[in-house]
Amino acid sequence: MNLVVEKSEQYVLLTVKQNAIDVDLAAQIEKNIAGLYSGEGKINFIINLDEVKDISEKGHLLFTKVQKICVNESGLLVLVTKSVDLLDNILSQTEESLLVLPTNEEGVDAIFMNELENDFKEEQDDEFGFDNESDY
């Protein structure tokens, strides 16, 4: 299997098990993420790219699409790689600013920090009477 999907309560870890994200694998990843987002309400995704050496244009478009969904839902997309070459490739080909970290553990930490920040913002809004309802 070229994609391993591990779900937890807070996030989904997708581990790519081949050296390239081609058109077919990008479509497979997109299908998995779409199903997890629409079917289970998942908004935090970690994509481990440790074995990846090359990413097709479709892969870069996928990252942009998933990033927009995550931002709109106050979630987080984290890409994991230690490869400087792959990091340069991602940053030069993707319009969105993406969070790229070297380990899954740091990705999990980033997601938990994002969740805490979201909870804090909600508490602040409630404290000052901004409960997402408008009188206007």
- Whose tokens are 């478009």? That residue is 61
- pTM, whole model, 2 decimals? 0.87
* pLDDT tens-digit profile, the chain (136 residues): 799 999 999 999 999 999 999 999 999 999 999 999 999 999 999 999 999 999 999 999 999 999 999 999 999 999 999 999 999 999 898 877 899 999 999 999 999 999 999 888 877 766 556 555 544 4
Write down the pLDDT at residue 131.
53
Long-range contacts at 21-28 (CB < 8 A, ≥ 24 apart): 21/49, 21/52, 21/54, 21/55, 21/56, 21/58, 21/59, 21/62, 22/56, 22/58, 22/59, 23/56, 23/58, 25/59, 26/56, 26/58, 26/59, 26/61, 26/62, 27/58, 28/2, 28/3
